[in-house]
Structure 1
Amino acid sequence: MSDNPALSEPAANEQAFTAEERAAVYRAIAERRDMRHFAGGSVAPELLQRLLEAAHQAPSVGLMQPWRFLRITDRELRGRIQALVETERVRTAEALGERSSEFMKLKVEGINDCAEVLVVALMDGRERYVFGRRTLPEMDMASLACAIQNFWLAARVEGLGVGWVSLFDPQALADMLGMPAGAKPLAVLCVGPVDAFYPAPMLSLEGWAQPRPLSEMLYENRWGEAE
């Protein structure tokens, strides 16, 4: 009997996928990694289009579809984005105090090594979308994160690595890319072939932090009360 719940448990109902299909979905989720090491190469245009279509099928609050994707094909511009990230990396290290030197040893991006670079941003004019955001305006950000996760999982299925880089000044990047007022970049995605996927999250392998079990984060009825 497999340890994978998708194979060891019967289908929940007639709407469920087959055992093999479920296993593939659970495997993609379990083996998705935030990649920092890339093997160069290229991504075929039709494959990149598939990944973007997968991202575009993400759920969004009020069907506002707040995501915008900018493909960076100019190598000089890619270098300027990398320099922006490096500036923030140094500032982050300074803010970390006693862990500064430890942080500086980490590889935090693969912008100059990956096949493709995408900047993912929130669109401008989001204030006119009230449905689902009157009390939780940050749901636009949650929607964009869902799109990135779709992209990430689809890329893993296709054998491509993705790294989400968030070390940058968003206004500086917005200005660099000519974004309109109100638009906000949230991710620089490094995409492309990799020699191997990390067997565990890189920060765990590097000893920066260790993942905590679900049992510590699952409550029942009231905050802090375990099942």
Structure 2
Amino acid sequence: MENRKFTDADQDLLVDIMLHRRDVRGNNFLADEVPDEVVSQILRAATLAPSVGYSQPWEFVMVRDPAIRRQVVADFEVENQKAEARFSGDRRNLYTRLKLEGILEAPVNIAVFYKPSAGPVLGQTSMAEVGEYSVVCAIQNMWLMARALNVGMGWVSILNPDTVKQLLNAPPENKLVGYLCLGYVRQFFDTPELERLAWDRRKPLETVVHVDRYE
């Protein structure tokens, strides 16, 4: 529809979806299969994201093979030990109790890659990284669509991207941007899990907005 307008109710619904989006961990996923048509809706939402120069530089790998997933988990465990060592005291004690992935528990894993263009891309000549930012926009679309479909999604970032690339036989030029776990959940919490566990709190808007320049 040309020049589509949205209502106050539409805007409120979008805000509600954003407010209730959650990063889901393995201790909250159900084993129930996610229908292919639901996964397709989530992937299609990814392809509707904005991208620099309309380059659409994303590619997706559905990871269903349990053997591959177990190797991804093995890599997570190695990287997680390194990450844990960076914290100390109460922070480290809390870190050790966190469940930070759902690779085996979630019925669907999706690896999201940035595929660079062979030639110059409109809008990307001064800031090369905006191609990867475009892929992040695609992942955000997936997260919001998943939540709208009452499907949980978790982003596993404690991985060695080179190891995952090798496991998935990704082209050398492709860059892993996100490794995602999707599935139905036992519950969606009212607040983010890390906020509930007192890891951190949401920053007030006024603390992150500056006018004209930083003071």
TM, length-normalised to structure 2: 0.92
The more displaced of 130-139 and 191-200 is 130-139
**TM-align CA RMSD:** 1.5
Matched residues in 1 for 2:13 and 2:151: separation? 16
- Which of 180, 183, 187 matches 1:189? 180
Question: 1:127: Cα distance to partner?
Answer: 6.0
Matched residues in 2 for 1:129 and 1:25: separation? 35
Matched residues in 1 for 2:128 and 2:13: separation? 34
For the pair 1:86 / 2:72, whether they are aligned, the reply is no
The more displaced of 19-28 and 135-144 is 19-28
For the pair 1:95 / 2:86, whether they are aligned, the reply is yes
For 2:5, the aligned partner's letter is A
Question: 1:160: Cα distance to partner?
Answer: 0.5
Matched residues in 1 for 2:109 and 2:4: separation? 37
Map 1:170-185 onto structure 2 (within 5 A): 170-185=161-176
- Which of 93, 104, 110 matches 1:112? 104
Distance 1:203 1:62, change over 3 A: same
Q: Is the Cα contact below 8 Å between 1:33 and 1:197 reproduced in 2?
A: yes
Cross-structure match for 2:23: 34
Question: 1:188: Cα distance to partner?
Answer: 1.1
For 1:31, the aligned partner's letter is H
Cross-structure match for 1:7: none
Matched residues in 2 for 1:141 and 1:96: separation? 28
Q: Is the Cα contact below 8 Å between 1:93 and 1:101 reproduced in 2?
A: no
Matched residues in 1 for 2:12 and 2:151: separation? 19
Map 1:1-227 onto structure 2 (within 5 A): 16-36=5-25, 37-98=28-89, 99-123=91-115, 125-126=116-117, 128-224=119-215
Deviations 1:37-77 (A, max 9, x none): 21121111111111111111101001111111100111111
Matched residues in 2 for 1:29 and 1:198: separation? 13
Q: Is the Cα contact below 8 Å between 2:112 and 2:179 reproduced in 1?
A: yes
Q: Is the Cα contact below 8 Å between 2:52 and 2:121 reproduced in 1?
A: no
Higher normalized contact order (CA 8 Å, seq sep 6+, divided by chain length): 2
* Aligned sequence identity (%): 31
Runs of 4+ in 1 over 6 A off after TM superposition: none
Aligned residues: 210
